[in-house]
Structure 1
């Protein structure tokens, strides 16, 4: 017998939620296996995340090569800054799509229209074949004005399982890699955060974005047999309070992509 730590999971799911994960995973696998190339071509993923003006490196990330006789460096434990920017990123298997500013139902409605226009300019034939939009179930996404815009643009919504960041490409691939590159850097204001984030997104090649979508298939396979979500660290989901009540001045709501 040995003493072990509990494993963090995003949320304790009910049996009904677990069954929904299995059902959605099997449905997505079936759809993907019918025509993988078509799935890659038609898919667009959209999600949000907070980016802090300063996020300290983890102990593992701050490791340095040292000679066996060299003294070990000391590093004071840091904490995240209170200032932060919410980034909204729309992307597909090739690159990042458009940019926006204010997060509410009207903003998201405008964003999905911008995404459609960007796809029309960059991805010939994608609109004709039909766009598969993957998004989480945040209140902003489910608002009446946003839902009307999605329907107007002719998007088909791929159903997201509840509390399952391990089945969301932005949560398991795009945002972790983005934040890993930004950790340890200090930004003086929101504009520096926005510039650094946009610069990182723009230099990623098509293989990076396609890898994030490709990993989805393996996660569906695993979820179809093991319905419990896997996560080492509990994520910080975007709540209604975050979106609507965190800022006193609407001008402080800034987003990226």
Structure 2
């Protein structure tokens, strides 16, 4: 399982959960600490300007350890209605596009898969990630117009490709 933190410019941190392991509050808390370090390295000045973190309401994201890590790292969390994959950019944009790339390909090892995933993430054209997050504005507006209801399924692709 891969956890990918990304922004309008690309990936910030990619983490691969070891086989047989599950994400716990402690694991996610450590990931958020690593995310802060990655942002400091890749996006100079971003921490001081403020980081908005969007994650869903899964227990590992809302547990005491995760909430403390968000606060400790100076992040702010965007509200996320329960069970709303239509408002999660990774769910409606990043992972569907990645899955299309990996479809019908066979990998001999986890390392080969990791290389393919990271290669795809890094080769996306200028504007790809920006377009994915830009769609969030449209989706939030629709959700508000629908009084919190689901946004109909719609595909978002980069217009730069």
User: Which structure 2 segments of 5+ residues have no match?
Assistant: 18-22, 155-161
| Structure 1 residue 208, shift from structure 2 partner | 0.4
Contact 1:132/1:155, CA 8 A, preserved across alignment: yes
How far residue 100 of structure 1 moved from its aligned partner, in angstroms, is: 2.7
CA drift of 1:190 comes to: 2.1
Comparing both chains, which one has the higher relative contact order based on Cα–Cα distances under 8 Å and sequence gaps of 6 or more? 1
Counterpart position of 1:118: 38
TM (norm. structure 1) is 0.54
Distance 1:164 1:116 in 2: 26
Kept after mapping to 1: 8 A contact 2:52/2:75? yes
Q: Specify the alignment match of 1:189 in structure 2.
A: 109
What do you get for the CA RMSD once the two structures are aligned? Answer: 1.6
1:141 to 41, 44, 61: 61
Indicate whether 1:90 and 2:22 are aligned: no
Q: Deviations over 1:128-184 (max 9, x none)?
A: 121111111112212222221111101111111111111111111101000011011
Measure, in 2, the Cα distance between the counterparts of 1:190 and 1:177: 20
Q: After the TM superposition, which segments of 4 or more aligned residues of structure 1 sit over 6 Å from their partners? A: none
Partner of 1:170: 90
Deviation for aligned residue 1:205: 3.2
Is 1:130 matched up with 2:45?
no
Give the whole-Å Cα distance in 1 for the aligned partners of 2:100 and 2:120. 11
- Choose which of 72, 75, 89 in structure 2 pairs with 1:152: 72
TM-score when normalising by structure 2: 0.83
Give the equivalent residue in structure 2 for 1:228.
Answer: 149
Extract unaligned runs of 5+ from structure 1.
Answer: 1-85, 233-257
